A and B are shown apart, each in its own frame.
Chain A
Amino acid sequence: MADRGERAATGRALAMLAPAYLWLLFAVFLPLAAMAWFSLLSDLPLRGREWHLTLANYRAFLDSPAYPALLWKSLRIAAVVTLLCLVAGFPCALVLARVIRGRSREALLLLVILPFWSNALVRVFSWTILLRPGGVLDAALSAVLPGEVRLGLAFTETAVVIGLVHSYVPYVILTAYLALQAIDQSLIEAARALGAGRLRILRRILLPLALPGLIAGAVLVFVPVAGSFMEPRLLGGRMGTTFGTVIEDQFVAVFNWPLGAALSFILLAVVLGILAAASPALRRSLG
């Protein structure tokens, strides 16, 4: 009897799980499998095109020095952006969680998350207006400082990094805030009672306990940035070619889907490899 009840419960649970997981299967896992298959083809299996299985698309990555160089560039940008987001975002989260209280905290937190709700494209476009030579930033600085100021930031890698940090820093602020906010106040009071200074509390209690939040934030930033193509294209100008823009080109312009798929999987493997390498740290900080 109990056994049957258990089985019925399991059946109910599976019925409740099925829609979500079938959806994920159809919209994420099967497409990824199809992509893996395409990356091994010599041409698209379309309208009488000749195709056969091959590793040539993966070999193409090694044959041209351009692809590894671009992959490295994308990862470098992602690392810099992630680091800047952590450095810039953590103090904000700290202030929000531990210094500011009451209604103003609520309002400020809302202010931080609000840009996240605006459109990412619009944010990037705002930067092109701001940074362009003779644009708003130059005009503003020229008005304040003596002489004609030309920052020359437009269409540089710096511009790409600025735009990406702007887009992704709210993630870090939010995840770090949630982690900091969950820290038991009595822990800090105990430390204070034992004579620990603010910096010491920060280093020995707040930072370690906020680490899971920081790591989660870092992952949320690093992963999309490594594959970004829109921000580099719009902000980077001649410096804006990244691994992401090359992949986009294969799908949108050149119509070499097999090569695009292979390049995507190389990116995916590298990103997952980095996440796996980071996961002991993640588990340690959680444990």
Chain B
Amino acid sequence: MTRLLAAVAAAALVAPAALADEIRVLNWQGYGTDADWAVAAFTAATGHTVVHDYFTSEQEMLTRLRTNPGAYDVVLINSAFTPQAAAEGLIRPIDPALVPNLANVDPALFANEDLNPGGVLMGVPWTWGLTSFAVNTNDFPEPPDSLAVFWDPAWKGRVSIRDDALEAVQFAALALGQDINAIDDLDAVRAKLAALMPQIATFWSSENDWNQNMASGLFAVATYWSGSAARSISEGLPIAFVVPEEGAIGWLDGLSVPASSTRVEAAHAFIDWMIDPEFYIRWDAEGAPATSNTLAAAALPETSFNRAVLGDPEVVARVQFMRPVDDATREAYLLLWQELKAAQ
């Protein structure tokens, strides 16, 4: 009896110290990992606490990893950037043994070549969705079906896109009917964006920012992400998400563990919770992008936004998925975008 008590006391003393880590997550603001209830449930189940830091572009995310070794334990990386992060030695291979829910992840996503640079799984497929646009239904009782609305003089000063060179260039390429991963006429893209500039009210930088500007009536039409659109609709904003005839940009987001993380086990546990159907079903009710977990996807109600929009084969046929971009191309896009902004 005494020995048992001693063991319990020892366990009580040692266990919290050994188990209760504070993990730091680097993600977009308002993107699932920082939902109050999700963090609370994770802390209740594992004892680990979660702190968040945010970025507003993939470039910024990479630089935060580069200049803050040891500061992060989990990072969200768009699969188009995973190979670059892996090549720079910023992230470590995923240990599948620590992520049991990987068993239920869609095999096609699990084997995604960008998430497996060099044949090693560097990011756990988490969500996927579309970058397209949404309109304010007060201004558009009938949603438009073409990207041309961005260039329509009627909406001058009510248009917004994100301040991101890659996204801006790919968006213009989409409007021009070019392949977003192999843009052959960059001058046309430049001219198209130059024509777009005077239309723009301001750039948006986060979901919250987007919501505030849509709510205030500043934006009538703005690029947006499908998951965020679902969330904004469920929060009561009068908007409609559009996948226009020109198509949309598809993306796959993965969760990775930085190479410099010192709380690797807790990080994997958090990632496992993030692809857990229980987490996803509740997140989807608030508005979420599509899950990588087939069990979770199957459990969604028929009326779910993701089933209605992303489940439509006609829509999926129009999607161009983002692929990695090499350094020279990225620099060319950046310079193009910077010059356009400087000319304002």
Contacts and interface: CB of A to CB of B under 8 A. Distances in A.
In the complex, A touching B (Cβ < 8 A): yes
Interface in A120-134: 132-134
Contacts of B335: 64, 66
Interface in A150-185: 152, 154-155
A237 B341 contact: no
Interface string A40-74: 00000001000000000000000011110110010
A18 interface: no
A47 B217 CA distance: 49
B269 to A, nearest CB: 30
A270 B60 CA distance: 28
B344 interface: yes
* Max chain A Cβ within 10 angstroms of own Cβ: one of B63, B89, B342, B343: B342
A110 B160 CA distance: 42
A252 interface: yes
A254 B333 CA distance: 12
Interface string B99-139: 00000000000000000000000000000000000000000
B179 interface: no
A155 B197 CA distance: 13
Contact of B342 (A66, A135, A154, A237): A66
B344 A66 contact: no
Given A134-B216, A255-B62, A238 B342 contact: no
A152 B157 CA distance: 10
A65 B59 contact: no
B84 to A, nearest CB: 11
Given A66-B339, A69-B342, A238 B62 contact: no
B218 A238 contact: no
B218 A66 contact: no
B197 A238 contact: yes
| Interface size, A (range) | 20 to 34
Contacts of B281: none
B66 A255 contact: yes
* Max chain B Cβ within 10 angstroms of own Cβ: one of A47, A238, A252: A238
Nearest to B334: A254
B63 A254 contact: yes
A255 B342 contact: no
Interface in B309-333: none
Contact of A238 (B67, B89, B200, B339): B200
Sort A-B residue pairs by CB-CB distance and give the 6 closest, nearest first. Answer: A237-B202, A66-B342, A155-B202, A241-B341, A253-B59, A253-B60
Interface of B: 57, 59-60, 62-63, 66-67, 89, 157, 197, 200-203, 213, 216-218, 334-335, 338-339, 341-344
Given A237-B200, A237-B202, A238-B202, 8 more contacts: A65-B342, A69-B343, A133-B216, A155-B202, A238-B344, A241-B338, A253-B60, A254-B63
9 contacts: A47-B89, A66-B335, A132-B216, A132-B218, A135-B216, A155-B201, A237-B201, A246-B342, A255-B67
